[in-house]
Structure 1
Amino acid sequence: MLSSIFEPESVAVIGASNNESKWGGRILKNLLSGFQGKIYPVNPNENIIQGLDSYPSVLDIPGTVELGVIIVPYKYVISIAEECGKKGVKGLVVVSAGFSESGNEGAELELVSIARKYGMRMIGPNTLGIVNERARLNASIIGRLPHPGSISFITQSGSLGLALAEWTIATELGLSKVISTGNKAETDDVDLIEYLSSDPSTGVVAMYIEGIKRGRKFLDAARNIKKPIVAIKTGRSKRGAKAVFSHTGSIAGSDEVYSAAFRQAGILRVDTIDELFDAALAFSCQPLPPGNNVAIFSNGGGASIVAADECEKQGINIADLTEETKEKIKKVIPEFASVSNPIDTAGTVSFKIYNDSIKALHDDPNVDAIIVIYVHTMISNAMPPAEAVVEMKQKCDKETGKKPIIACWMGGMGTEEGVDLLNSGCIPNYPVPERAVKALSALIKHREFLEKVKTGDAKAGKCL
């Protein structure tokens, strides 16, 4: 039934407006910018809205309506939900606020009762909407559709979710779905995880969580999905927990209990927003490593040492390279450079050095994953090593025993073309070594979860 929300054939925008600065105007405009199904504005005070016929009530719409997006003052929501039920609407996205987050639990229970009475699924209330890039559906106030990708982002915070979605668009990080859960009155994290588990366009689930309503069922759902789940759970401090309750009406719960429960369910808990999307990016683009032995290749010794130190913190082993691998790399790097792992080319950069070295490392049976670092200088070019990484990854992907390759192009200005090439080649790139290592650590931890915790049959996705 959640398909009626994320994959509808028709949408009614109840509270639509000609004023695009209002939420009803913004959401209608967003729908019109990409959605190919029927769109029906509903507003008793308007005849034409943004070029479409407007209807006084959803009951006056001549065709069928699969999804209703409600954007009206709180006092009208209950009666409009009832009308949607009578119309045969299958799904609701209730943007309107003023329910449990404001202490009005009774009205929220009544809204849920109406939805269940008519068999409607509901996101919200107090949501900023939902996005399904594959369906070209933007029923939210996010300004534009994201780039195509396999990351589905569930967020309990509407404004934070909006900001992060806009940020991913600006950085060209691909998303499949953005779901602002709001108060989780009828549809909660359990329902969404179960839906995304079988969603072919979702390869990894990223979550911003303030509180969980059905704890045991949530953990069971997470354990039953083999797709990786990466989550930030806020409310660690007493002040943070108090803010969580006033924000969405959720009880934050003991932080230690959440951490332990997440581990038992195979959920990767991260501490920062950078880590959330860094891990999600790696999952969306790279295979899981068969083990936790990494090779580090860099043109800068300092950067490779930073990466090695972070590997130790994360419990990742620096692989012992075979003599055959060392001999292959010796042939392409300067005599004064080091072939010990981490490998340092002593500032020397060329397509051949990176290409041949990555191939040697990929073929080494002692290596499970590779971190490739490029440190930019005024006399070096970021493109040749990027071209080598992308070309070699494509060749290696055709072979059995694929291994993840994580990139770190450092230096900012002057690296843009190389970074763009890495992105287009589905090589996850990070601006500093620590972030690259933490992203690899997420891949390793999820492999361990699959071996020890996960029970489901769904498979993790790849870059789309």
Structure 2
Amino acid sequence: VNLKETNILGIKAYKSVLDIPEHEIDLAILAIPARFCANAVRECGKRGTKFAVVISAGFAEAGNLALEEELVTIAGKYGMRIVGPNVVGILSNPSKCNASFAPCLPYPGKVALISQSGAMIVAIDAKSWVESIGISYLVSIGNMADVQIDEMIDYLNTDPDVDTISIYIEGLKDGRAFVKAAERCTKPIIVLKAGISTSGAAAAASHTGSLAGSNEMFDAAMKQCGVVKARSLSSLFSRSKALAVQPPLRGDNVVVITNGGGAGVLTADASELEGIPLNEATVTLQQDMKEYMPPFGSSKNPIDLTGMATASVYHDAMKTALLHDWVGGVIVLYSITATTDPMAMAEAIVSGIKDSEVTGKPVVAGFLGGAECRKAVTSLIENGVPAYD
């Protein structure tokens, strides 16, 4: 629909939605100046359109709250729901729909990502291909004049194409509704909250018209409803990648398997900072692990196989760890050496998991090295093991 053109990129254009032949309109995408949006929504409503994504900016975030409220009032009159305004659009891998400014659909998978920032959507879309983060939906929600994040959570919780829900939030209009939706949700939810500093909160207000609120209260609420908190964009990526293909941790016992002591120590620190301190391995597990290491190795946890560990040793250590009931999940680390091949190590880890025939225990991998490790990391991801380098 365009007031001036009759043909756009070879497709017939109409001056008004009302001029379109009698076909059902599922979705309207509004990319016109804000002052024309109210009339466009009215015309869509008259045609029975049930959903509109308003890409246009210049509403509450620019001080024009009345204009934004008018959109919602008109839409409500016709039973229409609005996503936005002030968004970059939506992307759906299941329906192969890219109604956004993003150049392509994201890397396919089962993470649904909701974001108040449109730029984040476009960046994540591109990043998904670099990091092999499988995404089903990208939804730019903007000012949230009508459709709220809690409604999106409820919808995505019933969608078979979604295993994990990731959210970038600047502010919530109804915190209680969000908490209740998160508590109802049976799928992992990961949240990156922006606007936690004074300057960040001010930026959020001018970006999407959001009131950021108390960071301490937000953290407490997220903990209450079991939401996983991300502290940065890279953290959101990492958590999304892991939960998209692996189950949550079973119990409290994580085992770290490594061929480098330093990597194990750093992982122990990071694990404790995330609220999962490493417990000492059981006597039985330690005895079993000693078969795969020289006398100067450590079987306590982290389990240090030492730099002498071969691919065969990694295979056996992985299989053994997963078969122990005490173990709830495994973090497997590999530091490159002159005598080992990263790809062989990746294959050994995957085969060790498969040969254990154990399911329901998460495994994540970290490969430390240069370009040689990149191919191995990609192979692990392709085989369902979240891996990082």
Give SS of 2:202's match.
helix
Report if the CA contact (8 A) 2:105-2:125 is conserved: no
Superposed counterparts of 1:377-396, under 5 Å: 377-396=337-356
Q: 1:72 aligns with which of 23, 32, 41?
A: 32
Which letter maps to 1:426? Answer: G
- How far 1:323 moved relative to its partner? 4.4
- Structure 1 410/189 Cα, relative in aligned 2: closer, same or farther at 3 Å? same
C-alpha distance in 2 between matches for 1:61 and 1:191: 31
Among 314, 317, 326, the alignment partner of 1:354 is: 314
2: CA distance, partners of 1:423 / 1:114: 47
Specify the alignment match of 1:39 in structure 2. none
Question: Is residue 211 of structure 1 aligned with residue 181 of structure 2?
Answer: no
Paired letter, 1:153? L
* One-letter amino acid matched to 1:316: I
The separation in 2 between residues aligned to 1:416 and 1:172, in whole angstroms, is: 12
Q: Does 1:407 align with 2:370?
A: no
Q: Give, in whole Å, the separation in 2 of the partners of 1:339 and 1:256.
A: 39
Alpha-carbon shift at residue 300 of structure 1 (Å): 1.1
Query: Is 2:249–2:328's contact at 8 Å kept on the other side of the alignment?
Result: yes
Q: Distance in 1 between matches of 2:210 and 2:269?
A: 39
Maintained 8 Å contact 1:319/1:366: no
Please give the alpha-carbon distance, in whole angstroms, between the structure 2 residues aligned to 1:119 and 1:395.
54
- Partner SS state of residue 427, structure 1: coil
Q: 2:377 aligns with which of 405, 419, 432?
A: 419
Measure the CA separation in 2 of the matches of 1:370 and 1:306: 15
The one-letter amino acid of 2:111's match is: I
CA deviation string 1:405-447 (max 9, x = no partner): 110011131112211110101101123xxxxxxxxxxxxxxxx
1:56 matched residue in structure 2: 15
Q: In the alignment, is residue 105 of structure 1 matched against residue 65 of structure 2? A: yes
Structure 2: gaps (5+ residues): none
SS at match of 1:366: coil
The structure whose RCO (Cα within 8 Å, separation 6+) is larger is: 1
- The 1-side partners of 2:173 and 2:277 are apart by 39
Work out whether residues 204 and 210 of structure 2, in 8 Å CA contact, stay in contact via their aligned partners in 1. Answer: yes
- Shift in Å at residue 324 of structure 1? 4.2
**Aligned positions of 1:131-280 closer than 5 A:** 131-280=91-240
Q: How many residues align?
A: 388
Per the TM alignment, residue 77 of structure 1 is displaced from its structure 2 partner at its CA by 1.0
Q: Deviations over 1:382-423 (max 9, x none)?
A: 011110111222344x44x63111100111311122111101
Q: Does the 8 Å contact 1:211/1:250 carry over to 2? A: yes
Query: Secondary structure of 2:372's partner?
Result: coil
Aligned to 1:28: none
Counterpart of 2:388 (choices 412, 420, 430) is 430
Contact 2:61 2:208 in 1 (8 A): yes
- Residues in 2 aligned to 1:93 and 1:223: alpha-carbon distance in whole angstroms: 27
Give yes or no for contact 2:107–2:132 (8 Å, CA) kept in 1: yes
Q: Distance in 1 between matches of 2:100 and 2:272?
A: 43
Q: In structure 2, which of residues 40, 46, 51 is the aligned counterpart of residue 86 of structure 1?
A: 46
Would you say the 8 A contact 1:320–1:366 is kept in 2?
Answer: no
How far apart in 2 are the matches of 1:313 and 1:220? 27
Question: Which residue identity does 2:4 align to in structure 1?
Answer: N
| Cα deviation 1:14-71 (Å, max 9, x = unaligned) | xxxxxxxxxxxxxxxxxxxxxxxxxxxx223223222222222221221221101011
> 2:165 touches 2:190 (CA, 8 Å); kept in 1?
yes
Partners of 1:394 and 1:49 in 2: CA distance: 53
Matches of 2:138 and 2:369, distance apart in 1 = 31
Could you tell me the TM-score, scaled by structure 1's length? 0.80
| Aligned counterparts of 1:93 and 1:225: Cα–Cα separation in 2 | 25
Structure 1 residue 150: Cα displacement: 1.2
TM-score (norm 2): 0.95
Q: Once the 2 structures are TM-superposed, how far is the Cα of residue 175 of structure 1 from its aligned partner?
A: 0.6
Q: Which amino acid aligns with 1:149?
A: G
Aligned to 1:289: 249
CA-based RMSD: 1.7
